[in-house]
Amino acid sequence: MTDLMRWFDTRRSPIDVIERLFEGDMGSSAIKVEEMVDGNTLVVRAELPGIDPEKDVDVTVTDGVLSIKAERQEKKEQKDKDSYRSEFRYGSFMRRIPLPGGVQQGDITASYKDGLLEVRAPMPDQGQPSGGSKIPITRG
């Protein structure tokens, strides 16, 4: 999918498009994700390094939208003004991804390993795309 097609993807809500505009498509507070289709399963992988998935991550589905929420707390160790520097992002992070129509919430699974959250959502069989068929024209 090209970048332009991603912006105008009909699965995206208007709110998602606005968030992308104001955050520069992938704002500094957004969770970075990869979306791919593996056979008939939508796979969403999210970068969440240094987060305890059992305490700091919520994965929910509401109205056909997958929401990933995470929080990273800043550790108060060495914060001398002269020697402290951090480029890590702290606070709450959230990402919403529209799911294909017909995905059943009970079939969605999530796992976490090595800083990556992977959510798998089996997509319903849409059937074979119908090839065009010629419509005969009758004379009246």
Asked whether the predicted pLDDT for residue 125 surpasses 90, the reply is no
Q: Residue 70 is part of which domain span?
A: 30-122
pLDDT confidence bin for 31, thresholds 50/70/90: confident
What's the confidence (pLDDT) of residue 8?
Answer: 54
Does the residue 75 lie in any domain? yes
Does the residue 99 lie in any domain? yes
Asked whether the predicted pLDDT for residue 43 surpasses 90, the reply is yes
Rounded Cα gap, residues 82 and 114, in angstroms: 33
Does the residue 22 lie in any domain? no
Summarised one tens digit per residue, pLDDT across range 63-81 is 889 999 998 876 666 556 6
Question: If you ran DSSP here, which 8-state letter would residue 73 be given?
Answer: P
Does the residue 5 lie in any domain? no
Cβ-contact 34, 95 below 8 angstroms: no
Cβ-contact 44, 96 below 8 angstroms: no
- CATH code, domain with 35: 2.60.40.790
Which residue, among 126, 125, 114, 121, has the nearest Cα to 37 in the 3D structure? 121
Beta pairing partners, 85? none
What's the confidence (pLDDT) of residue 24?
Answer: 45
Does the residue 1 lie in any domain? no
- Give the pair of three-digit tokens for residue 70: 């995470």
Bigger pLDDT: 5 vs 45: 45
Does the residue 94 lie in any domain? yes
Domain count, the chain: 1
Does the residue 66 lie in any domain? yes
pTM (predicted TM-score): 0.64
Does the residue 21 lie in any domain? no
